[in-house]
Amino acid sequence: MESGAIVRAYVVEPLCAEAEEQLQRGGGDAGDVRVEAVCLPRVEGGGELKLAVIGANARRATEDSTSIAYLEPPGPGNKFAAPILETAEIAQITSSSGARAMAQLLRAIERASPSGSLRASVAEELQ
């Protein structure tokens, strides 16, 4: 892993504000890695699950080569995002707290193997 690398965590609302606050508390870094949060739209609305939004959110994360994780609240939509994320080895963190999810991700990045794929190493750390 090269020093000064930038990675992104894709965060589904309503976790984004807390995740960004947690990230700012740590200065936006996990060791030598700069971490950015990308906020994604809610996947539920009006009591209904929006499958198209779930798919679009997960695909957006997989299309970004700097994507390291996908943070989402618990709910019925989790099982629909999982197969999309797994194919790209993107860690899926499910939590009711954006701060806890981001803290968990930052710890995993710091513990990740310095050689090989950071994405794969973080996914392995979070299993």
Q: For 69-112, write each residue's pLDDT tens digit.
A: 999 999 999 999 999 999 999 999 999 999 999 999 999 999 99
Domain presence at residue 1: no
Does residue 3 register a pLDDT over 80? no
pTM: 0.94
Domain presence at residue 96: yes
> How many Å from the N-terminal Cα to the C-terminal Cα in the chain?
20
Question: 56 lies in which domain range?
Answer: 6-125
Q: What is the pLDDT of residue 2?
A: 53
- CA distances to 11, 56, 57, 60 from 52, rounded to whole Å, are 17, 6, 9, 12
Q: Name the domain count of the chain.
A: 1
Instruction: Collapse the DSSP code of 4 into the 3-class scheme (helix H, G, I; strand E, B; otherwise coil) and give the result.
Output: coil
* SS3 of the chain: helix, strand, coil, percent, to 5: 45, 25, 35
20-67 confidence digits (pLDDT tens): 999 999 899 998 999 999 999 999 888 899 999 999 999 999 999 999
Q: What is the pLDDT of residue 80?
A: 95
Domain presence at residue 21: yes
Q: What is the pLDDT of residue 46?
A: 86
Q: What is the pLDDT of residue 120?
A: 92
Looking at residue 71, which CATH number applies to its domain?
3.40.50.2300
Q: What is the pLDDT of residue 86?
A: 94
Neighbouring CB atoms inside 10 A of 121's CB total 21
* Structural element, H or E, at residue 69: strand 67-72
CA pair distance 25, 64, nearest whole angstrom: 25
Q: What is the pLDDT of residue 52?
A: 96
Domain presence at residue 55: yes
